[in-house]
Structure 1
Amino acid sequence: MRSVLNGFKEFVLRGNAIDLAVGVVVGAAFTTLVTSLVDNFLNPLIGAIFGQPDFSSVWQWEIRGAYEGIDGEMVEPSVIAFGAILTAVINLLIVAAALYFFVVLPINRLSNLRKSGEEPEPEAPAEDVLLLQEIRDLLAAQSGRSTPNSPPSGPQA
């Protein structure tokens, strides 16, 4: 039981699980922000321009009218709502535009400002690259193969 709990603790504290959890929480926060922006700013603006912010009640095609069912209750008509589809497409475009102009564009601009002040890359390989090369050389030495950075092993002719 202790090994299961230790394994779970190791899994939760691993960077991937924490990064994923943070991403989900931040994504949920961005969802509420963008939904609020669309519902409280952009849709009223569209409503002021076009007369209504939602087209789901217009542009409908009624396939079958309302009728009385077997049990005597009225059955709703079958309707293809082109306006609802158009509203969903417009909302998708609004959300994409809001994310681009209010999130992606400022982050890209900030990233470009940071990059303009960066120093050039160091000429020596990074520390992790050196460590990976050492591991490769050790594994090759154990298996008896040669690596590009080490002399060939075994008898030579």
Structure 2
Amino acid sequence: MNAKKEPSIWQGFKAFLMRGNVVDLAVAVVIGAAFTNIVNSVVKGLINPLVGAIGTQNLDHYSSCLSSSCKGDRGIHLMWGSVLGATLSFVITAAVVYFLMVLPMAKYLARMEARRKAREGTHEIIEVTELEVLKEIRDALVAQRGSVHDER
């Protein structure tokens, strides 16, 4: 009997965790969390004071009231300042990721692809040229043999 032993649940879980995609995703989440702190600092330290030059430094204080009276917690408050702050954080994050990570990586990969194509193109030219030279040598040898046989 050749019964194949199935892996245990623990071994399967360990294999799942050790896959490259899971580890890469975990690293991305940790770096993203750390990067969020930087973006929040930029928004609180730079953007909010610039907005504060016009009004208040805390965007959360910008709101509108839909009901007839909004005093304290009464009434319907639209907290559009919070949405504006979150949107600014998102746009800043997206810009930093694009300009500092995505764009340079795309340029680097394009350069590497161009170098690879140039190397492949060079090898093809060399191989074709070598093949042509070998054919010419062969033809010259055949012609030389033919002239040697004609002299005899």
Alignment partner of 1:91 out of 85, 95, 101: 85
Could you tell me how far apart the structure 2 residues matched to 1:3 and 1:51 are? 62
Query: Shift of the alpha carbon at 1:115?
Result: 4.1
Alignment partner of 2:51 out of 22, 46, 52: 46
SS in 2 for 1:51: coil
Could you tell me how far apart the structure 1 residues matched to 2:41 and 2:33 are? 12
Query: Shift of the alpha carbon at 1:103?
Result: 2.4
Q: Which residue of 1 aligns with 2:64?
A: 59
Query: Shift of the alpha carbon at 1:64?
Result: 6.8
Tell me how large the CA RMSD over aligned residues is. 2.9
Q: Which residue of 2 aligns with 1:81?
A: 77
Gap change, CA 1:4 and 1:78, over 3 Å in 2: same
Counting aligned pairs with the same residue, the percent is 29
The question of whether the paired residues in 1 share the 8 Å contact of 2:62 and 2:81 is answered with: no
Query: Shift of the alpha carbon at 1:107?
Result: 2.2
Q: Across the two proteins, how many residue pairs are aligned to each other?
A: 110
Q: 1:52-111: per-residue Cα shift (whole Å, max 9, x none)?
A: 132536533456778xxxxxxxxx7532223x2x21221133113211332212224413
**Structure 1: which 5+ residue stretches go unaligned?**
67-75, 124-157
Moved over 6 A (4+): none
Q: Please tell me whether residue 14 in structure 1 is matched to residue 19 in structure 2.
A: yes
Q: Which residue of 2 aligns with 1:101?
A: 95
Could you tell me how far apart the structure 2 residues matched to 1:8 and 1:105 are? 37
Query: Shift of the alpha carbon at 1:39?
Result: 1.3
Greater per-residue strand proportion: 1
Could you tell me how far apart the structure 1 residues matched to 2:12 and 2:33 are? 28
Gap change, CA 1:5 and 1:108, over 3 Å in 2: closer
Q: Which residue of 2 aligns with 1:4?
A: 9
Gap change, CA 1:102 and 1:114, over 3 Å in 2: same
Could you tell me how far apart the structure 2 residues matched to 1:103 and 1:65 are? 40
Could you tell me how far apart the structure 1 residues matched to 2:51 and 2:97 are? 21
Q: Please tell me whether residue 117 in structure 1 is matched to residue 122 in structure 2.
A: no
The question of whether the paired residues in 1 share the 8 Å contact of 2:70 and 2:77 is answered with: no
